[in-house]
Amino acid sequence: MSTPIICEFCGAVLSPTNAHEFDDRIFCEHCLDARTTLCDCCMDRIWRDEAEVNGMYTLCHYCYDHNYTTCRDCGRLIHNDDVHYSDDDDEPYCQDCYDKHYNDAIHNYHYKPSPIFYGDEGSLFMGVELEIDEAGEDSHNADLILEIGRPHLL
């Protein structure tokens, strides 16, 4: 008579076909699903309480450390291939937060644009920095001012 296979967590008696082994422990299917999960990146099985979890991803520590970072603004986990770094503070941003900060008509105090020179070499180039009290938070107004000014630069 063979020794019964017992789930180490709930004590269920298991047949060889419904017994699962992970990390040198025996599980029934329910306990395996309740206590472990798969890493969304490498698909290795990991303990749930050791997983890096955020609304979209469940990751093992290795994949989290080597393939992902967290957006400075919203805290969203982003793959290293999708991260955007700011020029002024070298902080990681997701696409949405990067667009909010750096593709907006209104920039923070430390923003330095890449200059675009019009005309022949040696021509005088002048730029404008607008600082309007009480209007620094209205992107719509800033966009309108840019639309008015841009045709004159071409």
Same domain for 56 and 96? Answer: yes
Residue 85 · residue 107 · CB < 8 Å: no
Is the residue at 7 inside a domain? yes
CATH of the domain at 65: 2.10.110
pLDDT greater at residue 37 or residue 131: 37
The pLDDT score that the predictor gives to residue 37 is 97
The pLDDT score that the predictor gives to residue 52 is 87
Same domain for 135 and 82? Answer: no
Average pLDDT over residues 135-150: 66
Per residue in 97-127, pLDDT (tens digit) is 888 777 666 655 655 666 666 666 665 656 5
pTM (two decimals):
0.58
Alpha carbons 38 and 45: distance in angstroms, whole number = 4
Same domain for 15 and 47? Answer: no
Average pLDDT over residues 30-36: 96
The pLDDT score that the predictor gives to residue 77 is 86
Sorting pLDDT into bands at 50, 70 and 90, what band is 47? very high
Q: Residue 65 sits in which domain range?
A: 39-103
Same domain for 74 and 125? Answer: no
Alpha carbons 90 and 19: distance in angstroms, whole number = 49
The alpha-carbon radius of gyration of the chain (Å, integer) is: 28
